[in-house]
Structure 1
Amino acid sequence: MDNYIYLLIIVITVVLGYSFRFLTISGSIAAALVGILTMLGLHIQGLFLLGVFFVTSSFWSKYKRMQKNKVEERHAKGSQRDWQQVIANGGGAAVASLLYYFSPEPVWIYLFSIFIASSNSDTWASEIGTLSKKAPISIRTLSIAENGTSGAMSILGTFAGVSGALLIALLSFILFDFSYDLAILIFIFGFLGNIIDTMLGAFFQASYQCTQCHTETEKTVHCGHKTKKTRGFSFLNNDLVNFLSSLIAALVGFVVYTYL
């Protein structure tokens, strides 16, 4: 009976996410899959943690949306998440939950929490940081950059990233009865995922320039014309950067866990 209730919660959440334009159709399908895999392994606790990430990240993505319109010109996608964005942010956690279903070892819950903490930290940093009144600093050039530039950091965005990782670590501590040490590690590696994301964005993610308005952007088409790649690897877009940063943080967290 519990599984049917959990499934109903997933369906309602996905429908609401699509209705409020947080998710595209493909994003809704992917979100349902991530929710089901989370339900199988970690039940209501996992769904709650996943739900906190989804609700808070969706809120911050819509918060003061009008002020973010200019910033979105730099991003490849808007605030409505498609399947690639959903998998990039929730796919690793879903796999960790599935592994726990087949092999109920605490390490999978720990890694699940790191995946969520990393995604939450990065999303909060990106969405809140773009509202900073003080321009961010590019870690590649160490010069002032415009809001929304990949690989740039601001004080507000950094504080938001720390807060996002800390929230998930605290909730993991409560939901899964972790020790203080593990909760601290979830916080550290969650925020580390955000830092890795910034570094990958600065040095390796593909960046383009519009040939018409000369805006630096992640889009391959801007102002109705194909953009010119200025740096990075063409295959390394923002979705892949998000996924890799969480994966690397989780792998480092796994190594540390094995030596505890």
Structure 2
Amino acid sequence: MIGAILIFVVILLTGAAGYRLKSLTVSGALAAVLVGFAVYLGFGVNGLFLLGAFFASSSFWSKYKSSDKSIIEEKLAKGAIRDWRQVAANGGAAGLFSIIHYFNNDMIWLVGFVVCLASANSDTWASEIGSLSKQEPLYIRSFKRVEKGTSGAISLLGSIASLAGSFLISIIGYWLFDFGLFFTILVFLFGYFGNVIDTLIGAFYQQVYVCGQCGIETEKKRHCDLPTTRIKGSIFVDNDMVNFLSGFLAAMSAIGVIYLNN
């Protein structure tokens, strides 16, 4: 009982630290605490460690050379400081699988949980590191060079970073949960697959707006202190929805593979 109370205190302090370090807004810190509680219920300290590995590494790359990314952030809906929507988008599915695992101790929910974090890490590393590439990325719908920060665009550096981000979570997951080589490879592949899904949804369905004042295409609904105009994408599919769907669909695909092999 005392140990559980200490863990809860640590989760609260971690959320507060994220706010103090300007990695989280107030709402983001509260959401991170809720996700942390869910993960602890489902997977204990090991689950929290893996969640922390994702949060620490993604926060590091978000802050790394942030001054070089200032122009790119004009195109993005949100910056490096995560609010509750971003926390839910990147950690909500992992929290959901944790709660399910608490009531149903099946291996598939562990795999789903780890794949969600591998996918989120893969996508974050691809975006944050890929934006530092010297070349403009390729838009997958036309294979033409586009501005950095464009949803649905890929670069060699970003693709390598995506693989590395998924690999890190899969290796740490193997170390923490000892779930064998097959599941480690599965997590790695579907973690990366989550980033592929993110890119595809971003290219074909994510909403894009244009600023009537400066003409920039952006994910923001307001720019230059004025409302922007949606020029493509679904009104229901913003960046947070893309992030949530990519991790969730990658996790469910991995679970489907496990069922097919049983």
Q: TM-score, normalised by structure 2?
A: 0.97
Secondary structure of 2:231's counterpart equals strand
Alignment match, 2:39:
38
Alignment match, 2:130:
129
Alpha-carbon shift at residue 2 of structure 1 (Å): 2.2
Identity %: 48
5+ residue gaps in structure 2?
none
Secondary structure of 1:208's counterpart equals strand
Q: Give, in whole Å, the separation in 2 of the partners of 1:138 and 1:151.
A: 6
Secondary structure of 1:9's counterpart equals helix
CA contact 1:6–1:43 (8 Å) conserved in 2: no
Q: How does 1:41-120 map to 2 (within 5 A)?
A: 41-120=42-121
Alpha-carbon shift at residue 183 of structure 1 (Å): 0.4
Q: Give, in whole Å, the separation in 2 of the partners of 1:148 and 1:3.
A: 42
Alpha-carbon shift at residue 258 of structure 1 (Å): 0.6
**1:38 partner amino acid:** V
Q: Give, in whole Å, the separation in 2 of the partners of 1:182 and 1:9.
A: 30
Q: Give, in whole Å, the separation in 1 of the partners of 2:122 and 2:187.
A: 11
Q: Give, in whole Å, the separation in 2 of the partners of 1:138 and 1:214.
A: 20
Question: Is 1:200–2:166 an aligned residue pair?
Answer: no
Q: Give deviations 1:18-43, integer Å, cap 9, x for gaps.
A: 00110001111100000001011101
Q: Give, in whole Å, the separation in 2 of the partners of 1:259 and 1:2.
A: 39
Q: How does 1:156-167 map to 2 (within 5 A)?
A: 156-167=157-168
Q: Give, in whole Å, the separation in 1 of the partners of 2:251 and 2:110.
A: 11
Q: Give deviations 1:59-85, integer Å, cap 9, x for gaps.
A: 111111111110000011111101010
Alignment match, 1:185:
186
Q: Give deviations 1:106-149, integer Å, cap 9, x for gaps.
A: 11111100000000000111111111111100001210011111
Q: Give, in whole Å, the separation in 1 of the partners of 2:246 and 2:66.
A: 26
CA contact 1:3–1:39 (8 Å) conserved in 2: no
Alpha-carbon shift at residue 171 of structure 1 (Å): 0.8
CA contact 1:34–1:91 (8 Å) conserved in 2: yes
Q: Give, in whole Å, the separation in 2 of the partners of 1:9 and 1:59.
A: 20
**2:179 partner amino acid:** F
Q: Give, in whole Å, the separation in 1 of the partners of 2:159 and 2:217.
A: 22
Alignment match, 1:142:
143
Q: Give, in whole Å, the separation in 2 of the partners of 1:6 and 1:155.
A: 40
Alpha-carbon shift at residue 200 of structure 1 (Å): 0.5
Q: After the TM superposition, list the runs of 4 or more consecutive aligned residues in structure 1 that deviate by more than 4 angstroms.
A: none
Q: Give, in whole Å, the separation in 2 of the partners of 1:259 and 1:200.
A: 26
Q: Give, in whole Å, the separation in 2 of the partners of 1:31 and 1:220.
A: 25
